[in-house]
A and B are shown apart, each in its own frame.
Chain A
Amino acid sequence: MTRFVLRRIGLALITLVLLSVLVFIGTQLLPGDVGRRILGPFATQEAVDVLNARLGTDRPLLVQYWDWITSAVTGDLGFSISFSRPVTELLGRALVNSLKLGALAFVIVVPLSLLGGIVAALKRGTFIDRIITVGGLSATVIPEFVSGIVLIVVFAVFLGWLPGFATAPPGSGFFTQLRHLILPAIPLVLVLFGYIARITRAGVIEALDADYTRTAILKGLPRSTVIRRDVLRNALLPTIAVIASQVGYLIGGLVVVEVLFGYQGVGKLLFDAARNADFPLLASGVLVVGASFQVSMLLADVAYSWLNPRIRIS
């Protein structure tokens, strides 16, 4: 078990180093002259040179990369050009906001999609199964901003039941914040629902067809006992890993949802950074997103192997 965890951590670290190189290439090498890209074609060469000197982008690439990575490891993620604030401070605040929205989406979607997947599997081939499968597939593929717009038009503009703007006034209590986050959470729920329900359905069907289930039924155990004790216990394990792996998707979905609903989270922050060619913020932000994804995958793998004794040996 310890060896498995250590190996898994090692792989995550290698992946992160590779990612940092890719991000560095994307934000320092691809733009060519970083200062020119930020200031635009009409700025004087002197101004571009001054900015490059201030950003340190006139130094050799390897020095820049080493400097960026060593500071990042110690928690200094650089200085945002467009916000004139330390990146660490900006990202910290944005992460808290995104976490609230993401957590709400998960709290809604996990029980809902597990239930949907189980019902679809138990009623395999029936009309209910088709509704859940095709409906779930359709919900998954519709972009978040499309469902988000329909929600805003119906519930915020015409019915006026819920605010169409995600940011609650400063100092609002828990329930006011929650009210503002309900509409933005639903597009994320819709996309995740189809995916998790689909994996759950597949897992339950596999367990239903397994020999141990047949044995249990032939032993004369009641169907509900078999389903609870044999089928669900085996089927829901892989689903845990799938749910955790959706954290990566969630961060991508947050970009669109946070922009649409005007919410100051990580997604909106990265969007602003990309729009304003704020490369220090963009580079560190993407690195933090990658790191959070690796951590959640790591936790999922460890939890999965801890719950499933069969995988521990390898």
Chain B
Amino acid sequence: MVATASRSQRWRVLRRSPTFWVGGFLVLMWVVFAVFGDFVTPYEPRGTPQDILNRLQPPSAEHWFGTDDLGRDVLSRVLAGSRQVLTVAVSATILGTVLGTFIGLLIGYYGGLIDDVVSRVLDAFLSIPLVITGMLALAALGPNTIGVILVIGLVFTPIIAKTVRAAVLSERQLDYVTAAQLRKENSLYVMFVEILPNVWSIVIVEFTVRLGYAIFTVLALSFLGFGVEPQTPDWGADIFQHYGQLTGRVWWPVLFPAMAIALLVVGVNLLADATSQAFE
């Protein structure tokens, strides 16, 4: 299924898909804000000491999205907030994909006992939801950003390894692998130079799908108050800090970050959906 679709064919499928364009636009928009946020935010997102004087102002001409309970400009915090979630989620997904691909190649190529052990550990990991695993680890380690990256990356590792393993199992039977083995190439060469390029598309699809889950989890954990240093503009943490004020009809510091999250996750998942369809 993978070998038949050439690169140009895949690109043609992608280019024709409206899902790809809408998703790509939304993601690109947030990536641009994450990178160039400091140049486009109208105010200082971390706030200044004077801000406290105009706290909780509703949306107006000066502050389009209003101000929060420390008087910080909500629009600036929403624009700057994409950096935190994107950095953490992308790092965690890269960590999980690299480790998972490596382990998947190993257990797919050698099989046997390691295969069984990894499957059992994976089942144990998967019997508690990722958010709870994250809470558990962060309660133990103390809340910090690196901890979030490590937890999500390490939980993704066996999941990705399992997918890569399945792909390697079917590749291992093919003639080019036998040929390389008969040439007496060493196992690492066969795994990384011969097999890896042929399971590459599966790794890419896995990466885009996992990225969606990573963003979901990072946001849930930051909403629950784990993993974000104070003052850092972060959508989840900002919502957690202000949702108690909804009863007082103060909706703007909560609803705007929520909208930002919705746009980002829908974008990432449309992109992942389009990629999966093009590659499968």
- Residues of chain A at the chain B interface (Cβ within 8 Å): 11, 14-16, 18-19, 22-23, 26-27, 30-31, 37, 134, 137-138, 140-146, 149-150, 152-153, 156-158, 164, 248-249, 251-253, 255-256, 259-260, 270-271, 273-275, 277, 279, 282, 286, 289-290, 293-294, 297
Contacts and interface: CB of A to CB of B under 8 A. Distances in A.
19 contacts: A22-B124, A27-B139, A30-B137, A30-B141, A140-B269, A142-B265, A146-B261, A150-B255, A157-B246, A158-B249, A251-B129, A252-B129, A252-B131, A252-B220, A255-B135, A271-B224, A275-B225, A277-B139, A290-B124
A21 to B, nearest CB: 8
Nearest to B261: A146
Contacts of B224: 255-256, 259, 271, 274
Contact of A30 (B120, B140, B212): B140
Contacts of B126: 248
Contacts of B1: none
B247 A164 contact: yes
A19 B124 contact: yes
B5 interface: no
Interface string B54-92: 000000000000000000000000000000000000000
Interface string B226-252: 100000000010010001001101010
Contacts of A297: 127
Contacts of B212: 141
B262 to A, nearest CB: 5
A134 B140 CA distance: 39
Q: Which 7 A-B pairs have the closest CB atoms?
A: A252-B129, A30-B140, A18-B124, A274-B139, A274-B135, A141-B269, A19-B124
B136 A23 contact: yes
Interface of B: 19, 120-121, 123-132, 135-142, 212, 216, 219-220, 223-226, 236, 239, 243, 246-247, 249, 251, 254-255, 258, 261-262, 265-266, 268-270, 273
A143 to B, nearest CB: 5
A133 to B, nearest CB: 9
Max chain A Cβ within 10 angstroms of own Cβ: one of B19, B129, B243, B254: B129
Nearest to B125: A22
Contact of B120 (A14, A140, A248, A293): A14
Nearest to A144: B220
A19 B128 contact: yes
Nearest to B244: A262
Contacts of A15: 120, 123-124, 127
A26 B137 contact: yes
Nearest to A283: B136
Contact of A143 (B132, B220, B225, B243): B220
Contact of B216 (A143, A164, A248): A143
A169 B269 CA distance: 40
A140 to B, nearest CB: 8
A149 B127 contact: no
* Among B121, B140, B261, B266: residue with most chain A CB under 10 A: B140
Which of B121, B124, B239 counts the most A-chain CB atoms under 10 A from its CB?
Answer: B124
B216 A271 contact: no
A200 to B, nearest CB: 17
Contact of B239 (A149, A164, A274, A279): A149
B136 A252 contact: no
B139 A142 contact: no
A11 B136 CA distance: 24
A18 B130 CA distance: 16
Contacts of A150: 255, 258
A289 B141 contact: no
A10 to B, nearest CB: 12
Given A18-B121, A142-B261, A282-B139, A289 B254 contact: no
Contacts of A143: 216, 219-220, 223, 261, 265
Contact of B247 (A138, A157, A255): A157
B68 to A, nearest CB: 15
Nearest to A18: B124
B115 to A, nearest CB: 15
Given A149-B254, A252-B131, A18 B140 contact: no
B95 to A, nearest CB: 18
Contacts of B223: 143, 145, 256, 259
A251 B268 CA distance: 24
Contact of B131 (A134, A256, A282): A256
B140 A290 contact: no
Contacts of B19: 134
Given A143-B219, A149-B258, A255 B136 contact: no
Contacts of A156: 246
Contacts of A26: 136-137, 140
